[in-house]
Chains A and B, each alone.
Chain A
């Protein structure tokens, strides 16, 4: 393609956005709303996965160590625990510490001091409190820890892990379903809107076919047009996404307790990710606009 004709076709594409402004505006609005919904769906599902992740991070396995164990054996156990990929934190909890804590525990009431005095031998076990970074590995981890020399037994939050895993899977499936439904609906609507706009210019297309323009030449201005509208819609939807996201956020922010309980503390604020969202919106808009427009040209190219 010659440079002058390339720029001519680009210009044609942009000018026709204005020339077919009613159709362009319709496509723009549809794309904008679709991108808003898609954007919010993506952001909230990312948030949910952050929240679930935060809750998962509070998992704790207890590794009970044999009573008669020396320091070198303890450090061996600690090394093995720390060397696993899926372990994020190991806290040593000595039997002495456990005994002290037990004495201070409220469950025995204030008059228990004498009772504790009468016990000579420390009955508490030494434990390691292990936190996993990947909760799906809980069974594997328990199995591995149990086989370490000097480990008595392992307590793991199996139910808690399974519950979280199923919650995460459910959210993933729902998220993907909503997202693909939105993309399909959006493409179908854009396809139909673009079809009306292509239909309005069927004469121009048929002239191009008759004088021997190649299909890529014919598609090019429509491609530019769809991309341009998509780009504008991406920018506009970005602003709407920001407003919507931040207002949902502010509702939750009023109750800091709930936020912290749910593990909201690490959830993404819009400020931090706004440029990524803008780039993603514009890219998705341009793609959806261009693809929808090109798809809609189908039968007009068969002359």
Chain B
């Protein structure tokens, strides 16, 4: 569960009010699109949820953690309960697809046995098991993002946060990325996805949160074109 209560974020450098009195509640298992024009505060909102940023005012709760009271030493444990996907994939270029996924499990001290089972499983899920030995540079943008999704899902997080995951991908391939996130959502993981692509949002529908100048402008469910 994600909850924001009267959250303000003020950036001292530049004196920008990035978020103003935001109240939100996202329940476990939801799939939510976050939209809004550039500079509306979408990335700022996501950074609050990953505890990269603390709110100037208000309180933030994620996966049962009260982030306002989370000490620096507990941040790593908290972060293991969320998965992140970035616009620029952020795969490590000198590691193979398999190693990229295994890497995040190793550095969070998972057992060798868990890694040996989990990595093939998530690579199968994103239909890239046959590319396990390839390097990121040998994959298309869409494939690279699918590896990143597998990596985010590898630790079996309760929440996946994706900041414009389709931003660097051919529009036709964007649909399969969202389909994948929907599949993961079906397994019970909450998914928050920031996007600029209105076509995607219209096509898939569901809960939409729209930010405008740091405020929640719209928060409701819309029907998608793919249904029926």
Residues of chain A at the chain B interface (Cβ within 8 Å): 1-2, 4-5, 8-9, 19, 203-204, 206-214, 217-218, 303
B108 touches A211 (CB 8 A): yes
Q: A19-B94, A217-B107 are in contact. Are A212 and B75 (CB under 8 A)?
A: yes
Are the CB atoms of B107 and A213 closer together than 8 Å? yes
Say yes or no: B76 contacts A214, CB within 8 Å.
yes
B180 beta carbon closer than 8 Å to chain A? no
Question: Judging by beta carbons under 8 Å apart, are A212 and B79 in contact?
Answer: yes
B90 sits at the interface (CB 8 A): yes
Is B226's beta carbon under 8 Å from chain A?
Answer: no
Q: Is the CB of A208 within 8 A of B111?
A: no
B94 near A218 (CB under 8 angstroms)?
A: no
The CA-CA distance from A212 to B90 in the complex, in Å, is 16
Least CB distance from B68 to A in Å reads: 18
- Considering the complex, give the chain A residue whose CB is closest to the CB of B161: A210
Given contacts A19-B94, A207-B92, A211-B79, contact A217 B109 (CB under 8 A): yes
Chain B residues 99 to 144 lying within 8 A of chain A, measured CB to CB, are 103-104, 106-112
Q: Is the CB of B104 within 8 A of A211?
A: yes
Q: Are B80 and A212 in contact (CB under 8 A)?
A: yes
- Give Cα distance in the complex from A203 to B104, angstroms: 13
Contact across chains for A211 and B109 when beta carbons are under 8 A apart: no
A212-B77, A212-B80, A213-B76 are known contacts. Are A207 and B111 too (CB-CB below 8 A)? Answer: no
Instruction: Given A4-B112, A213-B76, A214-B76, decide whether A208 and B90 contact each other with a Cβ distance below 8 A.
Output: no
Enumerate chain A residues within 8 angstroms of B201, measured Cβ to Cβ.
none
Q: How far is the CA of A204 from the CA of B76 in the complex (A)?
A: 16
Q: Which of A2, A9, A213 has the most CB of B within 10 A?
A: A213
B103: chain A residues at CB < 8 Å are 207
Q: Is B43 an interface residue (CB 8 A)?
A: no
B40 at the A/B interface (Cβ < 8 Å)? no
The dominant DSSP class at the A interface is helix
B118 to chain A, nearest CB (A): 13
Q: Assess whether A212 is in contact with B108, with CB atoms less than 8 Å apart.
A: yes
Could you jot down 8 A-B contacts, CB within 8 Å?
A1-B109, A5-B110, A9-B106, A19-B94, A211-B84, A213-B104, A217-B108, A217-B109
Which B residues are CB-close (under 8 A) to A212?
75-81, 108, 155
Cα separation A214 to B79 with both chains bound (whole Å): 10
Contact A2 B109 (CB under 8 A): yes
- Are A207 and B109 closer than 8 Å at their CB atoms? no
B155 neighbours in A (Cβ, 8 Å): 211-212
Could you list which residues of chain B lie within 8 angstroms of chain A, going by C-beta atoms?
Answer: 50, 52, 75-81, 83-84, 90, 92, 94, 103-104, 106-112, 155
A5 / chain B contacts, CB cutoff of 8 Å: 106-107, 109-110
Q: A2-B112, A4-B112, A303-B52 are in contact. Are A211 and B107 (CB under 8 A)?
A: yes
A2 to B109, CA, bound (A): 6
> Inside 8 A of A207's CB, which chain B residues have their CB?
90, 92, 103-104
* Complex contact B108–A210 (CB within 8 A): no
In the A-B complex, list the 8 residue pairs whose CB atoms are closest, starting with the nearest.
A212-B79, A212-B80, A213-B107, A4-B112, A212-B76, A211-B104, A214-B76, A5-B106
A218→B92 contact, CB < 8 A: no
- Could you tell me if A213 and B90 are in contact, using CB atoms closer than 8 angstroms? no
The residue on B at minimum CB distance from A210 is: B84
Which of A2, A204, A209, A303 is B92 in contact with, Cβ under 8 Å? A204
A211 and B79 CA atoms in complex are apart in Å by: 6
Minimum Cβ distance to chain B for residue A200 (Å): 11
Query: Nearest Cβ in chain B — how far from A298, in angstroms?
Result: 15
Distance A211 CA – B155 CA, assembled complex (angstroms): 9
A169 to chain B, nearest CB (A): 48
Considering the chains assembled together, what is the distance between the CA atoms of A303 and B106 in angstroms? 20
B216 smallest CB distance to A (angstroms): 25
Complex Cα distance, B53 from A181, in Å, reads 40
Measured in the bound complex, the distance between the Cα atoms of B78 and A212 in whole Å is: 7
A206 surroundings in chain B (CB, below 8 A): 90
**Chain B residue with the shortest CB-CB distance to A208:** B107
In whole angstroms, what is the CA distance A5 to B115 when docked? Answer: 11
Contact status B52-A203, CB under 8 Å: no
Which chain B positions have C-beta within 8 A of A203?
Answer: 90, 92
Residues in A whose Cβ lies below 8 Å from that of B108: 211-213, 217
Residues of chain A within 8 A of B80, CB atoms compared: 211-212
